[in-house]
Structure 1
Amino acid sequence: MSSTTPESNLSRAARYAVPFALVLIPIWRTKVTAEVPQPYLDEAFHVPQAQAYWAHNWTHWDPKITTPPGLYLWSYVLCAGLLALRGSPTQLDTEALRTTNVATSAVFLPWRLQTLLDTIHQVRNTRPLGAWLSHTVLNICLFPPLFFFSSLYYTDILALLVVVEAYNWDLKRSAEKGYAVLQTLVFVFVGLAALVCRQTNIFWVSVFLGGLQVVRKIRQSSKTCEESGLSDIVARGLQNEVYDPLVSEASLTDYFKTAVSLAAASLKQPFSVVASIIPHLAILGAFGAFVLWNNGVVLGHKDFHTAGLHLAQMLYIWPYFAFFSWPIFLLPVINLLLPSAYIPKYLNYGFPEKHRRLPGVVAILLVIPAMLAVVHFNTIVHPFTLADNRHYVFYVFRLLLNYHPGVKYAAVVVYFLCAWAVISAFGFSVIQAPPKLIQVPQTLKPTETKDTKKSPRGTRTTKKSRRSPSDTVSPEALAKVQQHLLQRRNEEAGAPHVSFVLVWLAATTLSLVTAPLVEPRYLIIPWVLWRLHLPPAPTLALARQRRPLEEGEMARVDLATNAPKFLETLWFILINAVTGYVFLYKGFEWPQEPGKIQRFMW
């Protein structure tokens, strides 16, 4: 984002190392297959079902499987293609099926993630093939819950891939002038395929992408609302002006104002707004038809997966994000909390004062009591959570519920601070203002220009013209042009607005609060979309002083700018190494199942 320094050798070398780091995924699969050759846990249901489809037994279905058959169909297509090309595999064992997930996570997912990342941030990726993948995409693929299940035959990797692909096609069809029929049809097909992989994908392909489409449609035909009063925002919204500040400049009340503004602006153009989301409504209608046909959302084990209202899920998500992503928060939070004079120059982002927003009194008085109420009235513990000590969530809930009755209430402070950091991360950027437009002072005497041309008789004639003072640009017009240039720079930089956070929160809430079981896997898609939309790391204030830097100084600035991503990579590798080692080599036995090894996992 708006970097003013050239790339250092360290940064360039890191780009070329990214593809090689993805080799960790097949290495992980090799270790898993060597130590755990037989299907483990949910694989015991998925593997036989995939093998039944491979044998063309299309009517067979295990009633204990809760998700649709997208994973098994995907494996069938990949393995059938390999069989046609190289004559194998003829039989699908656990290793072959796990390998299809490796191909999904190490080949298809990074490719489609990079395409989506470039589109979101409006970057033309001209890097050579060896460095085409970015460091951000690598870190997403190394995200511990995602990495862990990349070598087990679970549905999570494919469920994420189809959501990413649906997002790619939705943006592609939106970028076309006019109505892109082919792109829209492909989007609908991929959106339906997302539902075949996992039912909760409906909230991402219909609610999330549909909500972004509505915001995009409104913003395309609206002006920026400069008012801040609620009544004025409503009135301006009805006049096609939208109040939607950057996250970095927004307070808690701005989220409410933005929601009201978008609602008012949509009333100005209801037909065009609805027309823009017809594909999303079609996918939603197909999902509704499935629910009616199936008499519920899940396919099997309906007694243990009944939908309910589990608001506490929206509390657990924040420490989850903070635990994994603290390297992204560390330097920006230091810059927000400490005065600039106390921040070393190679750590100082130079955040403007309007960006240095800490939680306000209103936010504390509104949010913390609401969180306490959720903890008191809506803490739901699924029977599986405290009955299965193979999952890390089991130990987290034992700490929250069994150590002391006050622990679950004290955790609200952690929830609140983590939520502030996660949302604020959308605004951890510094967007340089465009060059200042200067009003040229008008001379006291009107200027005269000479227009010399030949007369029909060959003699030269001179014509004097006067420039009127009314021809000059007014200060108000200059201010509007300056504001337009700044808005364009914001959009080019990919800085998220409040409207995006509202849509992301709505989809995340709907996908989580209906699930009674707390699972780290359920938070993979919300985290990935959050990580994709974070603005690129801001350059240091030192590098924005528009002066040439020496090579050594440039390297230090580049290292400091990219330090959060390097630290994130090391943190993810450390977590993966520890959880992988524990899974492979620290198995244990249950007294009721002697001789059978149980393993710790997410």
Structure 2
Amino acid sequence: MMVTIIDTLSNVGDSKKSDDTDVYFYNPKCSSIQHPTEMVRSICSLIMNTFKNSKTVLPNIATFLLGIVSFGIFLVWNGGIVLGDRSNHVAGLHFPQLFYYSSFLSFFAAPWTFSLAPVLKLLAVKSLIYGTASTLIALFLVHKFTHEHPFILSDNRHYTFYVWHKIYRRHWAVRYLLAPVYTMSGSLNIQAFADHTSFLLALGYFVALVLSLVPSPLLEFRYFIIPFLFYMVHIPPPTQTMRTAVGLSLYLSIHLVTVYLFVFRPFKWRDLPDQLQRFLW
């Protein structure tokens, strides 16, 4: 919906005179922002222009609004967001989900986005100061808001089970030692995204990311797929064919292994000896 609003207001602005301050829509590139006041100005511009051009904006976002209203009606009717077992899907504050997603994004986007230059920028004094502050915040969020969902401790049919047991449960300190990695991962992902997107688009993406991931108590890679795809479509394709070849080879290898495990390596649980279990994403 944010993308549609931005696109609509941009088109309206293009059809007006650029010196008409009443309709001027300010949405700079992330990389061109020099001061926080520009962010405030851009947000105010979005709000004011949305109301001023509501007759143009509303028809374009009508289907989104219908979905929001329908979802609200469903919440009231159902008494919650979950169908079925609600006790294991209670919404809360799970901020480390953002760190898990950033790590997931860095790994799967690396063939297209990784470059040595942004890494070297992180060694600058200013970047180190920001990085230290961000790491301290990450440590606090990891300490206060890390959740071990019962499913991730017991359901061995998913990759996340093995990631959690082989990495995070190897030692109590691992989750804290990874905080600098989260900070570096997030910085590189933001840089790659900011170089090619406007401020309001990036803001909308981050808000949607927080709203969709933070309330979920369960770490599942499938929750990351849509944010990942949205991120990637805003990254220009690489000029080097080798990057695409490496990326496709990585994806194909993981999928082939997953399909092989699903089809040829079923297993049984002790408490359900008559049922075959199969490995899934």
Give the TM-score category using the shorter length: 0.7 to 0.9
Question: Who is 2:75 aligned against?
Answer: 291
Q: CA deviation at 1:397?
A: 1.6
Out of 102, 106, 109, the residue aligned to residue 318 of structure 1 is: 102
> 1:565 Cα shift?
1.1
1:427 and 1:535 in contact (8 A); partners too: no
Distance, in Å, in 2 between the alignment partners of 1:282 and 1:587 is 43
Listed one character per residue, the Cα deviations across residues 105-128 of structure 1 (whole Å, up to 9, x for unaligned) are xxxxxxxxxxxxxxxxxxxxxxxx
Per-residue Cα deviation, 1:118-163 (whole angstroms, up to 9, x for no partner): xxxxxxxxxxxxxxxxxxxxxxxxxxxxxxxxxxxxxxxxxxxxxx
Q: Cα offset for 1:258? A: 4.9
Kept in 2, the 8 Å contact 1:222–1:242? The answer is: no
Relative to structure 1, is the Cα distance of residues 364 and 385 closer, same or farther in structure 2, using a 3 angstrom cutoff? same
- Residues matched between the structures, number: 269
Q: Which residue of 1 aligns with 2:18?
A: none
**Is the 1:312–1:379 Cα contact (8 Å) retained in structure 2?**
yes
Shift of 1:516: 1.2
Cα offset, 1:578, TM superposition: 1.8
| Counterpart amino acid of residue 94 in structure 2 | H
CA 1:219–1:304: 2 relative to 1, 3 Å? same
Residue of structure 1 in register with 2:43 after alignment: 263
State the alpha-carbon separation in 2 of the partners of residues 505 and 364 from structure 1.
Answer: 19
1:505-544 alignment to 2 at 5 Å? 505-537=206-238, 539=239
Task: Check 1:528–1:383 CA distance in 2 against 1; reply closer, same or farther (3 A cut).
Answer: same
**Which of 157, 161, 164 lines up with 1:397 in the alignment?**
164
1:110-189 superposed matches below 5 A: none
The higher relative CO (CA closer than 8 Å, separation ≥ 6) is in: 2
Cα distance in 1 for residues equivalent to 2:66 and 2:213: 23
Indicate if the aligned counterparts of 1:380 and 1:516 stay in contact, CA closer than 8 A.
yes
Contact 1:243 1:262 (C-alpha < 8 Å) held by counterparts = yes
Query: What's the CA shift for 1:240?
Result: 3.8
Indicate conservation of the 8 Å contact 2:112/2:244, yes or no. Answer: yes
TM-score, scaled to structure 1: 0.41
Residues 350-429 of structure 1 correspond to what in structure 2 (within 5 A)?
A: 360-426=127-193
- 1:308 counterpart SS class: coil
**Does 2:116 match 1:334?**
yes
Q: 1:163-217 deviations in whole A, cap 9, x for unaligned?
A: xxxxxxxxxxxxxxxxxxxxxxxxxxxxxxxxxxxxxxxxxxxxxx2x2233334
Counterpart Cα distance in 1 of 2:80 and 2:119: 49
**CA deviation profile, 1:458-482 (whole Å, cap 9, x unmatched):** xxxxxxxxxxxxxxxxxxxxxxxxx
Q: Residue 214 in 1 paired to residue 1 in 2?
A: no
1:496 has 2:197 as partner: yes
- RMSD of the TM alignment (CA)? 2.8
Which residue does the alignment assign to 2:17? none
Gapped regions of structure 1 (runs ≥ 5): 1-208, 224-236, 339-355, 429-494, 540-560
> Could you tell me how far 1:381 is from its partner in structure 2?
1.5
Q: How many angstroms apart in 2 are the aligned matches of 1:363 and 1:245?
A: 21
Cross-structure match for 2:265: 586
Q: Does the 8 Å CA contact 1:329/1:425 hold for their aligned counterparts?
A: yes
Pair 1:426–1:592, CA change in 2 (3 A): same
Letter in 2 for 1:507: A
Q: Which amino acid aligns with 1:591?
A: R
Secondary structure in structure 1 of the residue aligned to 2:237: coil
How far does the alpha carbon of each residue in 1:487-530 deviate from its partner, in whole angstroms, 9 at most, with x for none?
A: xxxxxxxx322322211111111111121111111111111111
Structure 1, residues 79-123: CA drift from partner, whole Å, max 9, x if none? xxxxxxxxxxxxxxxxxxxxxxxxxxxxxxxxxxxxxxxxxxxxx
C-alpha distance in structure 2 between counterparts of 1:284 and 1:502, whole Å: 20
| Equivalence for 2:250 | 571
SS in 1 for 2:150: coil
2:112–2:237 Cα contact (<8 Å) kept:
no
Quote the Cα distance in structure 2 between the aligned partners of 1:259 and 1:296: 35
Q: What amino acid sits opposite 1:378 in the alignment?
A: F
In the alignment, structure 1 residue 244 sits paired with structure 2 residue 11: no
- Is the 2:118–2:191 contact (alpha carbons within 8 Å) kept by the matching residues of 1? no
Instruction: Spell out the pairing of 1:448-527 with structure 2 (5 A cutoff).
Output: 495-527=196-228
Overall identity of the aligned pairs, in %? 29
- Distance in 2, matches of 1:427 and 1:266, equals 19
The one-letter code sitting in structure 1 at the alignment partner of 2:45 is A
Task: Go from structure 1 to structure 2 and tell me whether the alpha carbon gap of 1:274 and 1:589 turns closer, same or farther (over 3 Å shift).
Answer: same
Asked if the contact 1:243/1:257 (under 8 Å) is kept, the reply is: no
Is the CA contact (8 Å cut-off) linking 1:243 and 1:258 kept in structure 2? no
Quickly say closer, same or farther: Cα 1:596–1:282, change in 2 above 3 A. closer
Partner of 1:435: none
The residue that corresponds to 1:306 in the other structure is 90
Give the superposition deviation at 1:375.
Answer: 0.2
Aligned partners of 1:221 and 1:240 also within 8 Å: no
Q: Does structure 1 retain, via aligned residues, the 8 Å contact 2:29–2:194?
A: no
* Separation of aligned partners in 1, 2:254 and 2:193: 25
- Using the alignment, how far apart are the partners of 2:160 and 2:199 within structure 1? 32
Write the letter of the residue equivalent to 1:402.
R
**Residues 385, 321 of structure 1: CA spacing in aligned structure 2 closer, same or farther, 3 A cutoff?**
same
CA distance in 2, matches of 1:312, 1:373: 10
User: After superposition, what is the alpha-carbon deviation per residue over 1:350-372, rounded to whole angstroms, capped at 9, x for unaligned?
Assistant: xxxxxx67772453144222211
How far 1:220 moved relative to its partner?
A: 4.4
Q: For residues 596 and 507 of structure 1, what CA distance do their matches in structure 2 show?
A: 39
Letter in 1 for 2:223: Y
For the residue of structure 1 that corresponds to 2:91, the secondary structure is coil
* Structure-1 separation of matches of 2:234 and 2:251: 19
Structure whose residues are more often helix by fraction: 2
Asked if the contact 2:194/2:202 (under 8 Å) is kept, the reply is no
